[in-house]
Amino acid sequence: MTSQPTEPAGEPLIRMPAKTPAALRVAVARIDPDVLPRFDADWATAMDQARDEYSLLPGRHFTEHWWAWVAVTRWPARAGRLRECEHIVATSDDRAARRAAAAEIGRILADAEAAAA
């Protein structure tokens, strides 16, 4: 049984950008400028790896990762719940709670990416 992805209540901070590094950089800057140094460092690392390996895959991985980040983070409630679930997975002593939170993380990511596509 598959469920349709649902958007959180309210409006997103921004519209979903094109799936290009330049468009994603603009989106990241609008959502959270403090994250730009990490974005730029990840881009530099991906390009170094692409040159070293003669491969386009590091650039594709970078783009997919940051596109998913934007898809989640542009909805503040969704991003907040993702952080809560990540905290549960990282700190809870309750195995069932960790498993439930991990499953919810997967749903949050899948719903965000499906709705953004």
The per-residue pLDDT for 3 is 46
**Whole-number percent of the chain with pLDDT over 90:** 84
| Average pLDDT value for residue range 46-63 | 96
Residue 62's contacts (CB-CB under 8 Å, 6 or more residues apart) are 21, 42, 43, 46
Q: What is the pLDDT of residue 9?
A: 65
Give the structural domain span for 102: 76-117
- Same domain for 25 and 42, yes or no, is yes
Q: Are residues 43 and 92 in the same domain?
A: no
**Averaged pLDDT score across all residues of the chain:** 91
8 Å CB contact between 19 and 36: no
What's the pLDDT at 1?
38
The reported pLDDT for the residue numbered 7 is 57
Q: How many domains does the chain contain in total? A: 2
The model's pTM is 0.83
